[in-house]
A and B are shown apart, each in its own frame.
Chain A
C-alpha cells in the first residue's frame, strides 16, 4: 500500500458527460501528479500541483482540469467525455525534495461508452 488513495476505482459513463476523480496523497506529501495510462500512449503525465498551486502541465486536454485543495487532496475533472478518454488515471504524490520519488495510487479505470 503506497499510502495514496484514489476514488472511485471504476467509473462507467457516456460520451458528453463530466466526471470527477479524487486523490488523497500520502501523509506529508505536498505535491500531487496526475497521469493517464492508455494502451496506445502508455503512461503520460497530465498535470502537477504543489501545495495548492499548479506547478507543471503536460499533455492535458482543455476539457480536463484539476485542482488541489487546502487539505492537499486533489481532483481531476474530465468533461465532454469522448470514447478516447477511456483509460486508467493515476495519481501520484511526492514530498518535493532533491530526492523526489513519486508513489502511485491504485488508479481509476474510466470507461466511456
Chain B
C-alpha cells in the first residue's frame, strides 16, 4: 500500500532542542493531519490542516500545509521528555475519499 515519505526516519535530540520533520507526497491532499503514537497505544491527533499555506499551532507544536499541497511540516519547540514517540503525517484527499494515507513515521528519542 501507499505510504508518504517522511523524514527524518529517526531523531536523537537533547531536551530543550527544537525538532523539525516533514512529509512529502507525489499526489495532492486537501487535508494534512499529524499524529503521535506511543508504544502500545493508538495514534493521537496533534494538529489538523485544511488549507494550502496554513500554519497551525498547538502549544509547542506548529505544523504547516505546504503550498503545493504535496507536503507538510511539523516543528516541536523546546522538546521535553514526554515528546518521545513516533510522529506520523497523514494525508486525506477530499470529502468522498476520507481514507488516510500515512507517512512512514519519525521516531523521536530524547537523550538525557
Q: Is the CB of A94 within 8 A of B102?
A: no
**What are the interface flags for A60-77 relative to B under an 8 Å C-beta threshold, 1 for contact and 0 otherwise?**
000000000000000000
Residues in A with CB closer than 8 Å to B33 are: 101-102
Q: Is the CB of B43 within 8 A of A100?
A: no
13 more CB-based (< 8 A) A-B contacts, given A42-B3, A106-B41: A2-B42, A6-B42, A31-B98, A33-B98, A35-B100, A41-B1, A42-B1, A43-B88, A43-B90, A43-B100, A101-B48, A104-B42, A107-B41
**A45 touches which of B44, B88, B99 (Cβ 8 Å):** B99
A42-B102, A101-B33, A105-B42 known; A58+B1 contact, CB < 8 A: yes
Residues in B with CB closer than 8 Å to A45 are: 1, 99-101
Nearest-CB distance from B73 to chain A (Å)?
19
Within 8 A of A (CB), among B48-97: 48, 50, 88, 90, 92, 95, 97
Task: Please report B residues at the A interface, Cβ cutoff 8 Å.
Answer: 1, 3, 31, 33, 35, 40-45, 48, 50, 88, 90, 92, 95, 97-105
Q: Is the CB of A104 within 8 A of B48?
A: no
Asked whether A96 is an interface residue with its Cβ less than 8 Å from the other chain, the reply is yes
A99-B48, A100-B98, A101-B33 known; A44+B41 contact, CB < 8 A: no
Q: What are some 9 contacts across the A-B interface (CB < 8 A)?
A: A4-B42, A6-B42, A41-B1, A42-B104, A94-B98, A101-B33, A102-B100, A105-B42, A107-B40
